[in-house]
Amino acid sequence: MQKGHTQVLYGLYNDEEILLDAVRQAKKDHLDIMDVFTPFPIHGLDPIMGLEESRLHQAGFVYGATGTCTAFFFMTWVFTRDWPIIFGGKPYWSVPAFIPITFELTVLFAAIGMVVTFYVICGLGPGVTNEVLDNRITDDKFCLAFDTTGVSAEKVNQLKSFFSHTGAEEVNTKMI
């Protein structure tokens, strides 16, 4: 997020059930939600918000397949092309012996690939700082935020009344 350029109007709720109702109401009123922040993942929130399913697991599959191929073809190349050695009377291309390492590298590539992808697409990482709307969001408050940059005062009042009707404990604005 660009610092100091976005005006945010956000409401804090005390319970996830109230938040879920508020998000439903916002969708019904065709309000454009900037984001929802919670202290833990809320089941049922994503479809109400209209969030698309994450494609992270598809990426994971691709990374894993890369690992499988890397491991298997590398070992095959080493023992059939580069420096074939007879180990214990086994054939040069002893596929069953290659399976454990192939499996391990599949898991390793999939795990590292997915974790790095996760941090990159979320914009998180060591040393990254993001503006936190309220310190209590990671404690016990549930936050619904609207982007009100350049929005008319009338619209802002409409949003404020939305918050009071849906049971928000506090309503604040912040420039982030």
Which of positions 73-112 make contact with other proteins (CB under 8 A)?
Answer: 74-75, 78-79, 82-83, 85, 87-88, 90, 94, 97-98, 100-101, 103-105, 107-108, 110-112
Q: What is the CA radius of gyration of the chain?
A: 25
* Residue 29 binds other proteins, judged by CB under 8 A: no
Between residue 131 and residue 150, which ones bind other proteins under the rule CB under 8 A? 131-133, 135-140, 143
- The residue type of 145 is A
Helix (H), strand (E) at residue 97:
helix 95-122
Using CA atoms, how far residue 98 sits from 11, 39, 90, 110, 161, in Å, is 57, 45, 12, 18, 65
* Residue choice 5, 28, 126, 154 for contact with other proteins (CB under 8 A): 126
Min separation Cβ 135 and other proteins, Å: 4
* Residue choice 3, 29, 80, 115 for contact with other proteins (CB under 8 A): 115
* Residue 127 binds other proteins, judged by CB under 8 A: yes
Min separation Cβ 163 and other proteins, Å: 7
**Helix residue ranges, H only, 1-152:** 16-28, 45-49, 56-77, 95-122
Min separation Cβ 10 and other proteins, Å: 12
- Does residue 136 come out as left (phi exceeding 0), alpha (psi in the -120 to 50 range) or beta? alpha
Interacting stretch for other proteins, rule CB under 8 A, among 2-10, 30-38, 146-154?
A: 30-38
Token look-up 């698309």 returns 52
What DSSP state is assigned to residue 78? I
Count the site residues for other proteins by CB under 8 A.
Answer: 82
* Residue 17 binds other proteins, judged by CB under 8 A: yes
- Cβ–Cβ < 8 Å for 148, 156: yes
Beta-bridged to residue 145, according to DSSP, are: 10, 35
Interacting stretch for other proteins, rule CB under 8 A, among 2-10, 20-28, 151-159?
A: 20-28
